[in-house]
Every structure is written in structure tokens, then in C-alpha cells.
């Protein structure tokens, strides 16, 4: 008999679809996913790959507004959707929407085990705000358990979890086979560079062009490279955001050197950008994980990453270099080291491909399945 598992999460993210597909394919689980909205056009330009979805799902009617730095999302059919889905265990992605609190209350009233799927870490800047931290602690105290993506999130939740609350690790994942396949089935590198108008050598950043992503640190680090190195290697910002115009203005003053801004790049084209790069640079000041690191590793890239990224404790080993956030000098040193050591890049690239195999959609689904089985036992106890 299949066990009814309902996951409540914000939007249809392309990197979550393979995980939910893998989870739905597991024996003993009947998965239904409730999305609070299809996407968030104010911050994301993702395509919605509906044709790839192999699990039961629904998208609730929603109202969304951006108020300053806060993202408001309201839904008026949360409880009715849960009642119709009849979960035996409910996993909720996040606590920052009213729908999350409604779902927690519904689960309490219907005696359904409720677990929080949380990516928060000790480096999360939202934790610096007392009202947010107070609400978070209140929400966490009412959860039966937690699902976390990796070591940093696990250590963070352990600070608040009681002995009665169970913690499961579902390793954050992307479709590594898709990225590996797309970067291998392509024209010759020279032809591809020409088609994409990419330089012969470049450091790659992938993400939103906002200050917390460390984009200004990266530009400063590139400018600090020796001029003869900048003549031979460029910097590419694959992404868009409110800081783009300012970054482009600053980049025009860098000489010698070349900084390119191709804009937002969809998933299907990203593998080519990864495949042709020297390495991925993720200079974030705060990030619950950083799935672009998973993507880059699947394409065989070394990684330079700040030590506050949620993925750093899990994914950056012999395949990359960790640097502190907001430290352009150390970031520049790491970039110079990789740019001048082809042997090191080759070693790290091979290490990336090997390590990322442990972070497959199936491995992530296994963590959710373990949580669902625990919930079934709790329900029958």
C-alpha cells in the first residue's frame, strides 16, 4: 500500500523536478506536490518544464507582491488543497509564507506528522533580524521533524531541535546526467564559443546580479589580477539583476581585460557555459545552498566558493578552493592560482565529477523517502 506524502513548496523550480520524479518513482510512496505559485517573475526567469513532470501536483491560486526587500505571497486555498490531498505525512518547504503556517496548523488539527524542509544555515543573513528569528524558532518548535540538504543546515537545525524531533538529510541535487549529457553532445569548443560569443578562456559566475551574491567582490578580484593574466582570461557574468548596469559601468574601466554580461541563461544552455569555462566562481555573502555549484561540478568544473555558502561544507573538497566572503584579495589569489595551474584545474575537474555523483536526484529522494517512512511509523505508533 502506498503511503501518501504531500510536499508543500513555493514554486516549480526546474532543479526540483528531477528530485520529485525520483521520489514519485519509489515503491511505497504516493507523492503529491502543492506549489504555492508557478514562478516568481520579479526574481527568476526560469522556464517551467511541465513536460518533464512525472508526479502528481497542483498550483494554488496566488497573489504576489514585492515590498522593498520582502516577498509577499498569499494563497487562499491551502487548507482545502491539503484536505483534498489527504496526506499521511506533510513536508513543508520553508516557514516564511503564511501558507506554511496554515499548513502547520492544518497538520496539527488533523494529527498528520509535519516536517520542515529547511535550508537555513548559521550564515543566513535573515537570522540577523530578531523578528524573523523569533518567528522561525516558534515555527520550528512545532515541527515533528526536519529535512535538510546538507551539513551546514543540519548543524543549524541541531541548535534548535529537541531530542524528540527527527532530522533527515536529503542531499541537494540537480539532474547531473542532464548537465553531463548536454555538455558532451555539442559542437567543437571553437564552434560553440563562436555561436555563444564567448572568450577563449574565462571565469564564470552564474546567478542573480545582486550585492549579496558578491558580484562586486568578483569584479574587484578580477581587476586585481596581473594585467598580463587579464589579457588572456576573461570574466563572464551569466545572469541578470538590479546591479547589472552598475557592474557594466565598472567593468568598462578595466583594462586590459574583458568582462561579458550575456544576461540570464536558461538551464538548457547553461551546460555550454560551464563546459567552456576555466572554473565557476561563487563569491556569495549568504546563500542557503548554491545549486549552480552542483551544475558546474556535473559539467566537470573546479569551483571557487565562499565558506558561508550552504553547499561549501558538502561540495567543496579537493575539487575547489574556499575563500572568506567579501574578501576580494583572497578571491583574486584563488583565481590567479587556478588560472595559472592547468594541472590543478584538471585534477579539481576530475574530483568534481567524482564527488557530484553522490548528489543525484535519487540520493535526494532517498532522504525524503526515509522521512516519509518515519512519519508512517509515527502515525501508526
Model pTM greater than 0.85? yes
Q: Any idea which of 18-32, 64-78, 103-117 has the lowest mean pLDDT?
A: 64-78
With contact defined as beta carbons under 8 Å apart, do 336 and 314 qualify? no
Q: Please determine, for residue 188, whether its predicted confidence score (pLDDT) is greater than 60.
A: yes
pLDDT given for residue 70 in this prediction = 67
Residues 6 or more apart in contact with residue 357 via CB below 8 angstroms: 176
What would the mean pLDDT of 325-349 be, rounded to a whole number?
Answer: 97
pLDDT given for residue 127 in this prediction = 52
Our CA dihedral for 147, 153, 158, 163, rounded to 10 degrees, sits at: 10
Domain 176-356 has CATH 3.40.50.2000: yes
| Domain extents in the chain | 3-173+361-380, 176-356
What are the start-end ranges of the H helices in the chain? 17-24, 78-85, 98-109, 130-141, 151-158, 176-184, 189-196, 215-223, 227-230, 244-251, 267-276, 291-298, 312-315, 328-339, 342-356, 361-380
In this predicted model, what pLDDT tens digit does every residue of 222-264 receive, in sequence order? Answer: 999 999 999 999 999 999 999 999 999 999 999 999 999 999 9
Let me know if the fold of 3-173+361-380 is the same as that of 176-356.
yes
Second CATH level (architecture) for the domain 3-173+361-380: 3-Layer(aba) Sandwich (3.40)
- What does the angle CA 36 – CA 12 – CA 237 come to, to the nearest 5 degrees? 125
Amino acid at each position: 500500500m502506498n503511503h501518501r506524502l504531500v510536499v508543500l513548496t513555493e514554486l516549480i523550480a526546474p532543479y526540483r523536478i528531477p528530485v520529485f520524479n525520483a521520489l514519485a518513482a519509489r515503491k511505497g510512496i504516493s507523492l503529491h506536490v502543492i506549489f504555492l505559485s508557478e514562478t516568481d517573475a520579479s526574481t527568476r526567469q526560469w522556464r517551467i518544464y511541465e513536460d518533464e513532470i512525472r508526479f502528481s501536483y497542483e498550483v494554488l491560486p496566488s497573489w504576489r507582491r514585492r515590498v522593498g526587500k520582502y516577498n509577499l505571497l498569499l494563497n487562499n486555498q491551502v487548507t482545502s488543497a491539503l484536505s483534498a490531498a489527504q496526506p499521511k505525512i506533510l513536508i513543508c518547504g520553508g516557514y516564511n509564507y503564511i501558507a506554511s503556517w496554515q499548513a502547520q496548523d492544518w497538520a496539527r488539527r488533523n494529527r498528520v506528522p509535519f516536517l520542515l524542509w529547511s535550508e537555513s544555515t548559521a550564515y543566513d543573513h535573515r537570522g540577523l533580524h530578531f523578528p524573523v528569528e523569533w518567528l522561525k524558532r516558534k515555527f520550528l518548535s512545532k515541527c515533528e521533524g526536519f529535512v535538510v540538504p546538507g551539513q551546514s543546515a543540519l548543524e543549524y537545525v541541531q541548535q534548535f531541535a529537541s531530542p524528540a524531533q527527527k532530522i533527515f538529510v536529503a542531499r541537494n541535487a540537480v539532474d547531473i546526467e542532464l548537465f553531463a549529457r548536454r555538455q558532451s553532445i555539442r559542437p567543437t569548443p571553437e564552434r560553440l564559443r563562436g555561436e555563444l560569443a564567448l572568450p577563449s578562456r574565462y571565469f564564470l559566475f552564474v546567478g542573480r546580479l545582486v550585492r549579496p551574491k558578491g558580484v562586486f567582490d568578483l569584479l574587484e578580484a578580477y581587476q586585481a589580477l596581473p594585467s598580463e593574466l587579464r589579457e588572456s582570461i576573461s570574466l563572464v557574468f551569466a545572469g541578470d539583476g538590479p546591479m547589472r548596469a552598475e557592474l557594466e559601468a565598472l567593468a568598462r574601466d578595466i583594462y586590459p581585460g574583458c568582462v561579458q554580461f550575456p544576461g540570464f541563461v536558461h538551464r538548457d544552455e547553461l551546460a555550454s557555459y560551464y563546459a567552456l569555462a576555466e572554473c565557476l566562481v561563487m563569491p556569495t555573502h549568504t546563500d542557503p545552498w548554491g545549486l549552480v555549484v552542483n551544475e558546474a561540478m556535473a559539467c566537470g568544473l573546479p569551483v571557487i566558493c565562499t565558506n558561508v555558502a550552504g553547499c561549501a561544507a558538502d561540495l567543496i573538497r579537493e575539487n575547489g578552493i574556499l575563500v572568506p566572503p567579501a574578501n576580494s584579495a583572497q578571491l583574486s589569489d584563488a583565481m590567479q592560482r587556478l588560472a595559472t595551474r592547468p594541472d590543478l584545474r584538471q585534477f579539481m575537474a576530475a574530483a568534481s565529477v567524482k564527488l557530484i555523483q553522490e548528489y543525484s536526484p535519487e540520493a535526494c529522494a532517498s532522504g525524503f523517502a526515509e522521512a516519509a517512512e518515519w512519519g508512517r511509523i509515527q502515525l501508526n505508533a
